[in-house]
A and B are shown apart, each in its own frame.
Chain A
């Protein structure tokens, strides 16, 4: 037993201590578990993911019945959609010859393909709902009032972009459900006075839903609209802080 530096029963604690004192660990975690106020403040300021938050928040921020976490849930669903969406992109080609077969293959030949697709679909519906409910929460608590007017406008725009992200995704399986739902939207665009055909061309890339529309919706779905949403979300989150944090009764 002499080759062990400590008795056997102290070994786990010793390993733990050495790991925590190692150069690699210390470069990764600047301090130990934040069990005191100073470290707790330090980690919220110092961590890139946590620094979205202030160090301290008023009661409203931790009262679940005030926010119902709806904005956070919308963001969580956006992240889940990004991850599952990237995985789905590995198996999907936006061509009318391949798209439908690719989606079918997800449930037959791709490991966890069906689950990824289900997660993506249900998270998308969930995000439309949670963004809308978030808007209702902000409205009914009067949280849009000065100085938060412009952040409300950004939020309404984000609702619109969320509709767009969900809607463009609807066509991609290239099945009867998607193509005809999008055809209804094509009809809507056609009601534009004087510029009906131009509106159809602009949004759908064609006068009827075809390969051009599929490609257009694919590009908007996987990069165009998510990019817009990401930029708007950054501004949205940033402005919450700049406008004085979460709304509170005055």
Chain B
């Protein structure tokens, strides 16, 4: 009798979850499949360590770490670049106020990264890649959206205004029109960044009815794409005077890869 009631209760839970559109879950407390650390996990860890170490060793035999001439404080190389993981900041520096580009944005980026779990704390979707099928679509869309817009902006900014190829064309153009510099270096960049983020949120809300988690996915994807893309452009495509060139077609025999 008691057993029957239990199964009835279970069926009720199952039916309810179906009605709510949720996946039927095993009842709480049900055993989940577990594996012994020795040997299953340790074998994987050991293999990963061996493969990485051998890969690193082979790479180190094939390619030497760069060493340029002795440091000379009186001779600035053109271009001189930050290490690849910070060169994106140098890219930002070309398009906006230096305080905004070099300190405010990276500081804000770290702060926003750190507080993600305090904004999105719904645990329902944890432990699963991209949370949902929508999450995958939103990630792909955000990556394509950010890539296209960023590349377009970098190209446009290098073509208009002063000398073609040099960055910050938009700022120079505004200056020649007599617009105060604060518009080109602060108001416009901030408006563009906020506006494009808001547009991204709007699109994923309307197209996929994105929930909070999926909106955070869209914004995080945008951040990651900006980080890697600006690093790539700055590292490979910026030549003397920070002008845009193809990596294999740099003037004065400058080879960006020799600095890696």
Contacts and interface: CB of A to CB of B under 8 A. Distances in A.
Chain A partners chain B: yes
Interface of A: 34, 37, 40-41, 43-44, 50, 53-62, 64, 66, 69, 72-73, 76-77, 80, 96, 100, 103-104, 107, 114-115, 117-123, 125-126, 128, 132, 135-136, 139-146, 148-149, 152-153, 156-157, 159-160, 163, 166-167, 170, 173-181, 183-185, 187-188, 191-193, 208-210, 247-250
A167 B82 CA distance: 9
B69 A176 contact: yes
A191 B49 CA distance: 42
B129 interface: yes
A173 B117 CA distance: 40
Contacts of A50: 37-38, 42
Interface stretch (B11-19, B85-93, B171-179): B85-93
A203 B185 CA distance: 26
A57 B127 CA distance: 14
B126 A175 contact: no
Contacts of B49: 72, 76
A132 B66 CA distance: 23
Contact of B57 (A119, A144, A166, A174): A119
B236 to A, nearest CB: 15
A247 B127 contact: yes
27 contacts: A41-B38, A55-B36, A56-B37, A59-B33, A62-B35, A69-B48, A72-B48, A100-B70, A103-B67, A142-B127, A143-B127, A144-B117, A145-B117, A145-B125, A166-B83, A167-B83, A174-B71, A176-B72, A181-B81, A181-B82, A184-B81, A184-B90, A191-B98, A192-B99, A209-B73, A248-B32, A249-B126
A93 to B, nearest CB: 15
Q: In the complex, which of the residues B39, B63, B67 has the most CB atoms of chain A within 10 Å of its own CB atom?
A: B67
B167 interface: no
The 4 closest A-B pairs by CB, nearest first: A149-B117, A121-B65, A118-B60, A180-B80
Interface string B113-145: 110111011111111111100000001000000
Contact of A145 (B80, B89, B123, B260): B123
A80 B34 contact: no
B152 interface: no
A188 B103 contact: yes
B34 to A, nearest CB: 4
Size bin of chain B's contact surface: 35 or more
Nearest to B227: A132
A128 B86 CA distance: 11
A250 B66 contact: no
B37 A57 contact: yes
A123 B259 CA distance: 16
Interface of B: 32-42, 44-45, 48-49, 52-53, 56-57, 59-61, 63-73, 75-77, 80-86, 89-90, 98-99, 102-103, 110, 113-114, 116-118, 120-131, 139, 213, 217, 220, 224, 259-260
B67 A173 contact: yes
B53 A177 contact: no
Contacts of A104: 67
Q: In the complex, which of the residues B57, B68, B117 has the most CB atoms of chain A within 10 Å of its own CB atom?
A: B117
B99 A193 contact: yes
A176 B124 contact: no
Contacts of B70: 100, 174-176
Contact of B71 (A41, A117, A179, A184): A179
B41 A57 contact: yes
Nearest to B118: A149
A54 B82 CA distance: 42
Given A57-B34, A141-B127, A166-B85, A188 B102 contact: yes
B170 to A, nearest CB: 20
A177 B77 CA distance: 9
B56 A80 contact: yes
Contact of A141 (B37, B82, B126): B126
B64 A107 contact: yes
A249 B128 contact: yes
A136 B35 contact: no
A152 B259 contact: no
